[in-house]
């Protein structure tokens, strides 16, 4: 009986041991990962919606397109981006881009066959008309056609004025009993004195109007000569409108002498001299009516 009991005890222990191993195997098997089928393609990456909006339809933020540095943020963004998607700062339009920083936009350079990556072409003169490509760009003219160019008045500089005294001096006036005012005009060169009223002619000038000063000092007589009104201050020698001014054409350094009312021709441009002043000359384009103030040399002229 003792032997049978021992065998029974041994069999029970063995059963418990086997059951324990089975549980362990079962748990282990449960931890083995199940194979995942990957036959279906991975979903295509889509940029966030706010990035799409910022790109304003460009939609190529994460592709290998041409990049530029964003204005105001310095982020690399697609060439065509209208808004930086990182900072929301508006970017210049394609018609305002200037890759080489030469002052001429890329689309303009491309239109006329220039190099948008070479800033040196801004200072060249493609059509030989005397104006640089940059000057043509600023004037919206054709850099490849010499007949279409910026105004040549822009190539003139004021040098000096050579004054000429007006031949008559307004010396004084007196009022007659009938109210008529008689003016005395002297010619210092000839020593002659003339007495005339408004409307009278004296030495090729016509007395036009009189402006009396309430303080009794600065009386002014206005006379007309060749369609130009001249102001005469009592007791003072006036400058003759025919005083000359010397200009210079910086294209070829040619000196040009002009007088008031003269017609000035520069290539196919024509200008009327509106005024000759101590430090400048005023010109008017006879075709366009544009007025140009011709002043002295600037730092970049010489």
Taking only the tens place, the pLDDT of each residue in 182-203 is 999 999 999 999 999 999 999 9
Exposed, middle or buried, 75 (CB in 10 Å: 0-12/13-18/19+)?
A: middle
| Triad 285, 291, 296: Cα angle to 5° | 110
Taking only the tens place, the pLDDT of each residue in 215-229 is 888 899 999 998 889
Query: How much is the pLDDT for 30?
Result: 47
Question: Mean per-residue pLDDT for 37-43?
Answer: 50
**Of the spans 48-52, 100-104, 266-270, which averages the highest pLDDT?**
266-270
Taking only the tens place, the pLDDT of each residue in 107-158 is 899 999 999 889 899 999 999 999 999 999 999 999 999 989 999 999 999 9
Task: Indicate yes or no: pTM above 0.75.
Answer: no
Q: Which residues contact 117 (CB under 8 A, 6 or more apart)?
A: 99, 100
* Strand 263-266 versus strand 269-276 pairing type: antiparallel
């Amino acid at each position: 009986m003792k032997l049978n009991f021992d065998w029974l005890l041994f069999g029970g222990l063995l059963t418990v041991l086997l059951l324990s191993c089975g549980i362990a195997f079962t748990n282990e098997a449960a931890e083995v990962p199940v194979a995942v089928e990957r036959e279906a393609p991975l979903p295509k990456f889509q940029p966030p919606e706010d990035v799409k909006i910022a790109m304003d339809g460009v939609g190529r933020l994460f592709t290998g397109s041409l990049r530029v540095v964003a204005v105001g943020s310095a982020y690399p963004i697609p060439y065509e981006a209208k808004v930086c998607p990182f900072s929301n700062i508006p970017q210049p339009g394609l018609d305002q881009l200037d890759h080489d920083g030469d002052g001429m936009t890329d689309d303009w350079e491309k239109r006329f066959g220039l190099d948008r990556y070479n800033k040196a072409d801004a200072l060249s003169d493609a059509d030989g008309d005397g104006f640089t490509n940059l000057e043509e760009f600023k004037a919206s003219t054709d850099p490849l056609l010499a007949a279409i160019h910026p105004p040549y008045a822009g190539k003139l500089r004021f040098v000096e004025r050579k004054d000429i005294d007006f031949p008559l001096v307004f010396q004084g006036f007196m009022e007659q009993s009938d109210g008529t005012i008689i003016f005395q005009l002297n010619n210092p060169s000839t020593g002659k004195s003339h007495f005339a009223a408004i409307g009278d002619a004296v030495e090729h000038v016509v007395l036009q109007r009189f402006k009396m000063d309430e303080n009794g000092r600065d009386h002014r007589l206005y006379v007309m000569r060749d369609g130009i009104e001249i102001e005469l201050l009592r007791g003072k020698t006036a400058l003759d409108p025919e005083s000359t001014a010397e200009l210079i054409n910086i294209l070829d350094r040619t000196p040009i002498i002009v007088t008031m009312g003269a017609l000035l021709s520069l290539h196919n441009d024509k200008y009327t001299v509106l005024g000759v002043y101590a430090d400048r000359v005023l010109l008017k384009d006879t075709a366009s009516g544009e007025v140009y103030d011709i002043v002295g040399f600037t730092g970049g002229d010489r």
